[in-house]
């Protein structure tokens, strides 16, 4: 059984034999909710490639201390996957973030597509982005990731065009796409970018702008997936053709 993972702000310079103190909300959830006990082994990570393993030496109301007996450093998985996710309605946005984190996305970019039903403005935008980031954080711990995904600020279509231009491979999911996902040549050493449209579909002007920037418009198959799960299916299919999943 995999050990539970907890996120800490900093692990640079930590060596075997050191002790790491975990406090705040992370410690409160572990001690008060999950009933963490002295002697239980856990993994601590900074979400930036460093993970330490050790036994809990002590616990308090909002704190616990871990004695480090193993330190691991990992490189970011390559190719790095960025998913531009059009805003879904309701809680489907958090679902999309959760599954994209579990499947290994390095970056998730919320996108205000022209046909998105959901609208992020003002205080709602701040709260929604905070929910996406919290969802990614918890999903990364559940997936035992050493590198946590970045959830960027809400992007405009023009900003998505810029992201496409900078990517080694850029794919846009569209039910009328002219190519099949299996035909895409994935560059193993460059970044992979995937654009997932909203429930209402992509606007023709968006498709034109993305293709002009260098993206390939593809269809997954005969079935039409929801925007909250299409990214999971596409990223899985693409990663299966890279060293990450071979």
| pLDDT tens string 180-225 | 887 888 877 778 999 999 988 999 999 999 999 999 999 887 888 8
pLDDT band per the 50, 70, 90 thresholds, residue 243: confident
The pLDDT value recorded for residue 180 is 82
The pLDDT value recorded for residue 22 is 97
What residue spans of 104-151 are helical by DSSP H? 122-142
User: pTM for this one?
Assistant: 0.93
Distance (Å) of CA 113 to CA 86, 104, 118: 6, 24, 9
Segment 123-134 mean pLDDT: 95
The pLDDT value recorded for residue 187 is 74
- Mean pLDDT (the chain, rounded): 93
The pLDDT value recorded for residue 190 is 76
CB atoms within 10 A of CB 204: 9
pLDDT digits (tens, 9 = 90+) for 21-58: 999 999 999 999 999 999 999 999 999 999 999 999 99
Domain ranges for the chain: 5-73, 81-239
pLDDT band per the 50, 70, 90 thresholds, residue 64: very high
Q: How far apart are CA 54 and CA 63, in angstroms?
A: 16
Q: How far apart are CA 116 and CA 156, in angstroms?
A: 12
The proportion of the chain whose per-residue pLDDT surpasses 70, expressed as a percent, equals 100
The pLDDT value recorded for residue 59 is 96
Structure token digits, residue 59: 């616990």
The pLDDT value recorded for residue 100 is 98
Q: How far apart are CA 224 and CA 220, in angstroms?
A: 8
Structure token digits, residue 131: 């929910």
The pLDDT value recorded for residue 178 is 77
The pLDDT value recorded for residue 217 is 93
Task: Measure the CA dihedral 77/72/133/22, to 10°.
Answer: 180
pLDDT band per the 50, 70, 90 thresholds, residue 89: confident
Domains 5-73 and 81-239 in one fold: no
Does residue 130 carry a pLDDT above 80?
Answer: yes
On whether the 81-239 domain is CATH 3.40.50.2300, my answer is no
Does residue 241 carry a pLDDT above 90?
Answer: no
Q: How far apart are CA 127 and CA 105, in angstroms?
A: 22
Q: How far apart are CA 25 and CA 142, in angstroms?
A: 17
The pLDDT value recorded for residue 10 is 94
pLDDT digits (tens, 9 = 90+) for 105-122: 999 999 999 999 888 999
CA atoms within 13 A on the CB side of 70: 9
The pLDDT value recorded for residue 194 is 97
Domain at 5-73: CATH code: 2.40.240.20
What residue spans of the chain are helical by DSSP H? 24-28, 92-103, 122-142, 157-166, 204-212, 227-239
Q: How far apart are CA 220 and CA 227, in angstroms?
A: 12
CA atoms within 13 A on the CB side of 55: 4
């Amino acid at each position: 059984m995999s050990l539970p993972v907890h996120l800490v702000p900093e692990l640079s310079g930590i060596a075997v034999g050191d002790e790491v103190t975990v406090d705040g909300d992370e410690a409160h959830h572990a001690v008060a909710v999950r009933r963490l006990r002295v002697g239980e082994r856990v993994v601590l990570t900074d979400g930036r490639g460093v993970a330490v393993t050790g036994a809990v030496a002590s616990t308090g109301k909002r704190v616990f201390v871990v004695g480090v007996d193993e330190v691991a450093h990992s490189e970011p998985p390559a190719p790095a996957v960025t998913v531009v996710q059009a805003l879904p309605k309701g809680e489907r946005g958090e679902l999309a973030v959760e599954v994209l984190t579990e499947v290994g996305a390095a970056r998730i970019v919320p996108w205000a597509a022209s046909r998105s039903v959901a609208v992020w403005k003002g205080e709602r935008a701040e709260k929604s982005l905070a929910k996406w980031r919290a969802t990614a954080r918890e999903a990364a711990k559940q997936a035992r990731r050493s590198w946590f995904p970045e959830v960027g600020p809400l992007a405009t279509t023009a900003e998505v065009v810029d992201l496409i231009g900078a990517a080694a491979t850029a794919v846009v999911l569209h039910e009328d796409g002219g190519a099949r996902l299996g035909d895409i040549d994935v560059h193993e050493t460059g970044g992979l970018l995937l654009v997932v449209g909203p429930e209402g579909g992509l606007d023709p002007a968006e498709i034109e702008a993305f293709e002009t920037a260098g993206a390939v418009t593809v269809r997954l198959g005969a079935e039409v997936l929801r925007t909250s799960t299409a990214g999971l299916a596409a990223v899985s299919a693409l990663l299966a053709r890279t060293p990450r999943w071979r």
